[in-house]
Structure 1
């Protein structure tokens, strides 16, 4: 049953791909299939929303690819074979892989790698890891969160990852926007009841913190 579903899914991905991504999709994807069969599909229950060989632009400006990505959940899954990713890796390749992981993080995706050994010997443990992540950060049914303008949504995501009071200057760093623009974003979030001021006065020195309403929104309980 899995093989048939995978073939349909893979064919659709190939049909909509071009250039280097198309070449990536036509290589040996044995590890990716294992990742889908043992973890991703059992947890998510569907191929819908997933993309194979997800294309991104790294911090250095080159194209990088994630084995499997769920763009709506903002998570990139990887299958790492010990032989190709550790035992026989060169120093330059090792450095590239670290920079690649940083790029994925800076682009706002959670990087979720699994080793081939884990997939073959500890599939249930791998599944639990993903269930826990979805419970904390990635409920795809959180429609209210997805309806927020992108900068408001990303500011809220970073705030929850920070998990402590934060200032406008920090939001400016997170979003790579000027302080004035970030102040407007926070005022809109405050108006929605998703952040609140903590300490300080009305015009200076105060910090912000996400509210329980924001937590409920993230987990689809709005």
Structure 2
């Protein structure tokens, strides 16, 4: 897991620097002020679900219905998701009435631009990251429109469900996890593990042992879901 997180941190840093180089004005200022909330949203919540920042625009500039510029923390351009990290103090406790009104206008404007508003609170991401990842995964599953893709068709229902469950767990997957996920016998779960190892979708955490108890997803496994 530490390796995945370090990869996510590096990819996020690279993405941020790349977008800073291409930004100007207020967007550039906001990119330079990226907070722990935005980092947590991208690294701890988004990355384990998607394993890529392809198509992500940080501090996406939009024009509200009243003609005022506004910004969205991160937009997945491919799925039109507007992802937000919201701290309680800045978004609730200390918010002024004019700012509150502007926030509602901003959300309505996102709807007019066909951006689906997907907010996560700082406390949720910090204390319940698995719940946040599960919610995000379900949104991608609902709006992905993936059933006709070539990658999607290469796996059966059980294989895709194992990948989803492993992403949700965000740790090495064990036999007990598979039985719970699939609702099947130990023999069936063992067969599925062998099949997915043969397809290089799962890898034993310790390849030197003859008997394996934990497996990790291949870094490209999630592409078969979308």
TM over 0.5: yes
- Aligned counterpart in structure 2 of residue 136 of structure 1, from 120, 130, 142: 142
Q: TM-score with structure 1 length normalisation?
A: 0.62
Call closer, same or farther: CA 1:18–1:122 in 2, change over 3 Å.
same
Q: Distance in 1 between matches of 2:148 and 2:73?
A: 25
Alignment match of 1:108 (pick from 106, 114, 117): 114
Q: Which residue of 2 aligns with 1:91?
A: 97
Of residues 31, 37, 47, the one that matches 1:41 is 47
Taking the aligned partners of 1:73 and 1:135, their CA distance within structure 2 comes to: 11
Gap regions ≥5 residues in structure 1: 144-218
Note the C-alpha offset of 1:20. Answer: 1.5
Show CA shifts across 1:143-182 (max 9, x none): 7xxxxxxxxxxxxxxxxxxxxxxxxxxxxxxxxxxxxxxx
Give the deviation of 1:136 after TM superposition.
1.1
Match of 2:197 in 1: none
Counterpart in the other structure of 2:30: 24
Quote the residue 1:82 is aligned against. Answer: 88
How does the TM-score come out when normalised to structure 2?
0.60
**CA distance in 2: counterparts of 1:29 and 1:129, whole angstroms:** 22
For 1:112 and 1:140, locate their aligned partners in 2 and report how far apart those are by CA, in whole Å.
20
CA contact (8 A) 1:54 1:66 kept: yes
CA distance in 2, matches of 1:141, 1:41: 22
CA deviation profile, 1:6-26 (whole Å, cap 9, x unmatched)? 221111111111121111111
SS at match of 2:73: strand
Q: Output the aligned Cα RMSD.
A: 2.1
Quote how far apart the aligned CAs of 1:139 are: 4.3
CA displacement at 1:142 relative to structure 2: 7.0
Match of residue 125 from structure 1: 131
